[in-house]
Amino acid sequence: MARTLVLYVLASLLVATAWLRLENGAVPYWNLALMIALGVLPGIAVAVGRRWSALGIGVAALLAATAQAFDLPVTDARPGAEHNFFGPVLGSFKDGFLNFYDTQLPFRPDDFPLMHAVVLVAIFVFCGVIGVLLAARRPVAAAVALVVAVGWPATLVPGERPLAVGALGLAGVLAVLFLLRAGARPTRGLVQGIAVTIALVAAAAVASTSGAVAKGAFLSWQSWDPYDRPDTPVGVRYVWNSHYLGIRFPKKKTLVFKVRVPGPQRNLYWRATTLDDYTGNGWQESLDVGEAGKPEQIDVTGLPTKAHEQSNWVRQDITVEALRDNHLMASAQPVRWRPPADTEVQYENGDIVVLPRALRQGQRFTVSSYVPRARPSDLAKASTNYPSTIDRYLEVIQGGGRVPTFDTRNRDDLMHVFFDATWENDSLMQGNRPLYDVAREVVGDARTPYAATVALVAWFRRDGGFRYDQTPPLPIGSEPALAAFVTRTKSGYCQHFAGAMALMLRFLGIPARVAAGFTSGSYDSGRHEWKVTDHQAHDWVEVYFPGWGWMPFDPTPGRGLLNAAYDPSSPVFDTRDTSSFVGSEVLDSLRRQAERAQGRPGLEGVSGLGNPSGAGGGTLVRDKGPSIVALAFLVLAAAMGLVVGLKALRRTLRFAGRDPRNLASACRKDIVGFLADQGYELPPSASLAEVGQELDRYYAVDAGPFVRWASVARFARPSEADAAVGRARRELRRVRRDLRHQLSVFSRFRGAISLRSLTL
């Protein structure tokens, strides 16, 4: 039983380490310990011979684990409950599982709580299965389960040290096979098992690093893409249209296009269009389509002069796979297009490019975009002297007139006139008025448009109590959807977050619009290209800053992260560069967010972007931080500490009674266990005298006094035994001390972590 428990703890730590590599954040020690503890319960039932009871115990443990992971009360899992339990749990598990196909890994638990819950449930399930197989003495099946439990997450986030992950899995498998093998003395092969493990790992290391042996993967199943040749193209306008009635991504994930960016890995959002006009109920696209043509160079409205310097451009080669749409995608802000061959295009000022017909599979086009690297102080210094072409982005309702800019004197008074006089009889506009009041409260005394923008992003992502929900509550009556979202429900998806923030910025006199397109997708390092699916369709916000152009901000939690020093949700956000123009309360919140985004001190937050200033419009790709080798050492150290602790506990329990005969037997077992840990096993029938002879013969330790007093304590009259047992225990300590002096440091260490004495 003790050996099985030790194996379970070692296996569960290995499983937990493998699955937690999918996350980038603080380790949930309490939840992790609870999942492991619940997982061992069915195995205990099997070990004590109550195999049918194990099924009921397993079901109860599963209910408790899922309730804790998804934060749902298990008391609702009963007939007649006011709220359902199984429906929300199954729905949340499905959504969390599907999120793994939509999200860059590793992910932040704060941004993806359902994914974090799925990880916890996976740890519980695998620990439970392995525990039952270990208790049932099924070493091969337990080893297979351990391989699956460790190998599955390792293929999702292979990291930079896949050999170390494989070594840990191999060590766990060999430990199970050697320690659970049949026979009277199943631990005899432990040293041989360790030697075999080291030999196999060394051989694998030589083979994998040798140019003459190491080759590309034979199957490379992780990179298989079942959607390379989809049957039919798919559209994503249900994400771009601001209907606010809920969205549901298809179960089948479809690859819609691929993007190759020459040079180092660049993580960008792919914009297809912008929603420029707010109608009072939602945002809509407003294209002023010109005559058909085939432009090569396009002057983008409002961009600075440096946007025309090719050294500031990022080139993107895009291949259409299965997108049913007529928009061309590009990272903001596009400055040169090379559209598909033999295709005329229609466009509006170059910012948005559309085709007369839908895109076809296999079409290719190239676009170069101006992607500035800006720091917070750069955007804070931007003026509010907007060009006339930007005036339309200061209209809070389509055709409703331009609001005063952010730094206009007595602006709040002017806005009250704007509402009370201009829109006094407009119920729709009055319904949106709460957005202005909330915006003023959130930004407080912000002195620049950038400071106000940062405050709103922080509020939507962290401080406002919002949550991402694809089926949010509907507005009541004629209540505008965005007003209901901000003031009442605080539940919505990207259309709600982006639409509300853009409208609130316009109310504050800051030019803004909703951008629609896709997050960066997943990066194929072998082909050096981004693969984007329909599940990555997304809305975000673009804010105009003179001298820099349209800069992206993403207020939606859990759907993407912009990698930029100016963006408060980014792990490279520069709070020091922000302190001079952001209020103390907002700055404290931003610092907390930056710490959460970083996950832990020393984390390399960005892959492929060496410039710490960041690039506007990039999504975050994280390294795992602590080495898997370091985690392996921590697991091994914890296992060794557990073995030593179990042995100390067992020794304490042996000497807990007062019966001198039992204490004398405990003395004998103690010294026999000490010898067993050194690899010298005595037969169970060995007497105290024979034990003393072996100590003298093999270790030159005088055990005569110990044998004499232990024999008196065991066989003499009670009055004599009580006095003798104290002398026997003192002699036992002397014998152990003399034995340690005869042993080398390595032998003592090996004996301390040996499991042999636990089986006696």
One DSSP character per residue, 607-640 reads SS---TTEEEEEEP-----S-HHHHHHHHHHHHH
Report how far residue 289's alpha carbon sits from residue 295's, in angstroms, rounded to the nearest whole number: 14
Q: Which residues of 669-687 are buried (b: 16+ CB within 10 A; e: fewer)?
A: bbbbbbbbbbeebbeeeee
Report how far residue 647's alpha carbon sits from residue 653's, in angstroms, rounded to the nearest whole number: 10
> What residue ranges of the chain are covered by domains with CATH 3.10.620?
377-515+538-610
* Contact between 322 and 232 (Cβ < 8 Å): yes
The pTM (predicted TM-score) of the whole model is: 0.55
Whose CA is closest to 137, among 50, 46, 59?
A: 46
Longest distance between any two alpha carbons in the chain, whole Å: 114
Task: Take residue 571 and report the two structure tokens written for it.
Answer: 């792990």
| Long-range contacts of the stretch 415-420 (C-beta < 8 A, 24+) | 415/507
> Residue 394's pLDDT is what?
92
Taking residue 215's Cβ as centre, other Cβ atoms within 10 Å add up to 9
Q: Which stretch of DSSP H or E encloses residue 47?
A: helix 29-47
Residue length, the chain?
760
Cα Rg, the chain, nearest whole Å: 34
Report how far residue 39's alpha carbon sits from residue 126's, in angstroms, rounded to the nearest whole number: 8
Strands 364-370 and 313-320: antiparallel
Report how far residue 90's alpha carbon sits from residue 63's, in angstroms, rounded to the nearest whole number: 12
Report how far residue 131's alpha carbon sits from residue 149's, in angstroms, rounded to the nearest whole number: 12
Low-confidence ranges of the chain (pLDDT < 50): 80-82, 160, 182-189, 208, 210-231, 290-297, 299, 597-629
Q: Which residues of 167-184 are buried (b: 16+ CB within 10 A; e: fewer)?
A: bbbbbbbbbbbbbbeeee
Task: Take residue 655 and report the two structure tokens written for it.
Answer: 């000497």
Taking residue 624's Cβ as centre, other Cβ atoms within 10 Å add up to 21
What residues form DSSP beta bridges with 257?
Answer: 320, 532
Collapsing DSSP to helix, strand or coil, 505 comes out as helix
> Residue 275's pLDDT is what?
92
What is the CATH architecture assignment of 377-515+538-610?
Roll (3.10)
Collapsing DSSP to helix, strand or coil, 94 comes out as helix
Report how far residue 117's alpha carbon sits from residue 67's, in angstroms, rounded to the nearest whole number: 10
Name, in order, each residue with C-beta under 8 angstroms of 522's C-beta and a sequence gap of 6 or more: 104, 530, 531
Collapsing DSSP to helix, strand or coil, 259 comes out as strand
> Residue 206's pLDDT is what?
54
**Cis, bond preceding 68 (omega within 30 deg of 0):** no
Task: Take residue 379 and report the two structure tokens written for it.
Answer: 């955007």
